[in-house]
Structure 1
Amino acid sequence: MGRPFSAAAALLFPALAVFTPAAPDAPKPADFVSVQKGTLPVIISAPHGGRKKIPDVPERVATGLTNFQTVRDENTAELVEKLVAEIEKSLNAKPWVVVARFERKHLDVNRSREQAYESDKAKPYYDAYHDPLAAACKAVKEKYGRGILLDIHGQSVHQGSICRGTQNLKTVKLLKDREGMAAIRGKNSVLGRMEKLGYKILPPGDSEETAKEEAQFTGGHIVATYGSHTAFAIDAIQVELGTELRAREQYATTAKDLAESVRVFYDAYLKDEKK
């Protein structure tokens, strides 16, 4: 029979009886959104490219919503990372950035709060996206008086094209009133410059001013909330990039060209407003 476990041994090895590994910190909603404060009157938003599952938030199911979607806008988050880096390189300053890292299956921040999620547990994640986006718009308006918000999305209907979404010019009201249609589709506009670089834009730059945007891609909750027809007063464009433009081997080029287009727009329409 072996020796009984002595009191001295218990003093030497107390942790054998009581040690429990520390539980990892629970993830916070802010961990699921990438945010950057900027130094330019340029805001970049990407709500649908996230890959993280949210613990304890069930996946959404269709509840009578029109155009219900849960699929990821593939490579939009990665494209925005490259876009931001290229803008910083060309303008030597930082755009404001808000990028969702959570799966769209859990919530869709490009919808109103009432339609975005089906579990109250998703509310903090919704706020973690919209609070910094609203703060960015307010900061840009206060400092510069105007600015541009590009809300980056993906679509597969027109795979080699970019669809403009401004709710048929509603969300760029101030830009149109101030500079005319040239600032929206001309050679120094963001999408006009992309067209000049060889991209197909819908509606095209040479179309009539009254030409309607593609019905599925006219712009959702984000541009409707922060566009210049609202008190935020930031001109907002939903940029719907076709599948081919977001492919793994192509999105870096698309991002670089889009950054160049942002630079051209900034020089033409925003640079003189910097305080």
Structure 2
Amino acid sequence: MPRPLSAATVLLVPALAALAPAAADAPKPADFITVQKGTLPIIISAPHGGKKKVPDVPERVGTGLTNFQTVRDENTAELAEALVADLEKALDGKPWLVIARFERKYLDVNRAPEEGYESEKAKPYYDAYHAALAAACKAVKEKFGRGLLLDVHGNGVHPNAICRGTQNLKTVSLLKARDGMPAIRGRNSVLGRMEKLGYKIIPPGDADDKTKEESKFTGGHIVSTYGSHTGYAIDAIQLELGSYLRAKDTYATTAKDLTDAIRAFYETYLKDAK
């Protein structure tokens, strides 16, 4: 004959049942990334503007790292969203978009894995971001044969300037070979157009081909991984936007001007992509 359930067991069973939905609703890596699939050969990435705490992942301490950063690039996520919305109207199509919503202090997707996270519990979030970027690059390459990846960051060293990061033209090697330096710094290039609109660009458009990029902002892991010197065939530029250009009351204007610059580049160098 079965033993009757104790009073404690009777109370415990519904309590455990109540916990089951909570486990099912536990946060997933995909909940910490905004991804939009696109129809254009343009990819926008914003890895350092997130504000969410990652559950069960301790903050990084950076032991032994020489270029360790945990500071958020303020308003870069918001700027990227505004940029994509403006581009959709200007180009009658959708750019690809990948935005990190997690705080950089838990993991940094613009670093190689061995520097980007310290807890194995952070790995799924890191992998989810790069899986989304890799999928975007592969889709653009397959459909168009080439494309442009703009990786949006913030710098506090030059508050009124935009620093170009291409690992000294390495990550735009196919663009340079195909269309020359005018596509990188000329009047219809992204940064050349921004310079024409009055923005300070580092290095400036009138610099010679041997002028090096700002040593702190030459481009990180993202452009290094997905730039056109790799098999992806996507020309990648890290945009280091000064703090004034992405302030709460100015980032929308910066996004609109970037839209104009990207439109000029698209119509000159990308519109006829297959």
TM over 0.5: yes
Gaps of 5+ in 1: 1-13
How far the C-alpha of 1:21 sits from its partner, in A, is 4.2
1:86 aligns with 2:91: no
Q: Deviations over 1:162-197 (max 9, x none)?
A: 000000000000000000000000000001000011
Q: Which residue of 2 aligns with 1:40?
A: 40
Matches within 5 A, 1:2-13: none
Structure 1 position 30 matched with structure 2 position 30: yes
| Greater alpha carbon shift after TM alignment, 79-88 vs 21-30 | 21-30
Could you tell me which residue of structure 1 aligns to residue 233 of structure 2? 233
> Quick check: 1:197 aligned with 2:197?
yes
1:157 aligned onto 2:157: yes
**Separation in 2 of the partners of 1:253 and 1:134?**
29
Q: Alpha-carbon deviation of 1:29? A: 0.3
Partner of 2:138: 138
Rg larger for: 1
How far 1:250 moved relative to its partner?
A: 0.2
TM (normalized to structure 1)?
Answer: 0.92
Q: Distance in 2 between matches of 1:18 and 1:36?
A: 40
Alignment of 1:63-74 (within 5 A): 63-74=63-74
> Deviation at 1:136?
0.6
| SS across alignment from 2:59 | coil
Whole-angstrom distance in 1 between the partners of 2:185 and 2:173 = 14
CA distance in 1: counterparts of 2:154 and 2:195, whole angstroms: 18
By how many angstroms is 1:18 displaced?
4.1
Task: Work out the number of aligned pairs and report it.
Answer: 260
Q: Secondary structure at the match of 1:150?
A: strand
Once the two structures are superposed, residues 207-232 of structure 1 have per-residue CA deviations (whole angstroms, 9 ceiling, x without a partner) of: 11111100000000000000000111
Bigger mean CA deviation after superposition, 35-44 or 17-26: 17-26
Mapped to 2, the partners of 1:216 and 1:241 lie a distance apart of 13
CA positional deviation for 1:62? 1.9
Question: 1:54 corresponds to which residue?
Answer: 54
Aligned position for 1:119? 119
- Please, what TM-score do these two structures have when normalized by structure 2? 0.92
Q: Give 5+ residue unaligned stretches, structure 2.
A: 1-9
Give the letter aligned to residue 264 of structure 2.
V
Letter in 2 for 1:238: Q
CA distance in 2, matches of 1:28, 1:260: 36
Matched residue of 1:149: which SS? Answer: strand
Aligned residue type for 1:226: Y
Distance 1:258 1:21, change over 3 A: same
CA distance in 1, matches of 2:64, 2:160: 31
> CA separation of 1:18/1:259 partners in 2, compared to 1, >3 Å: closer, same or farther?
same
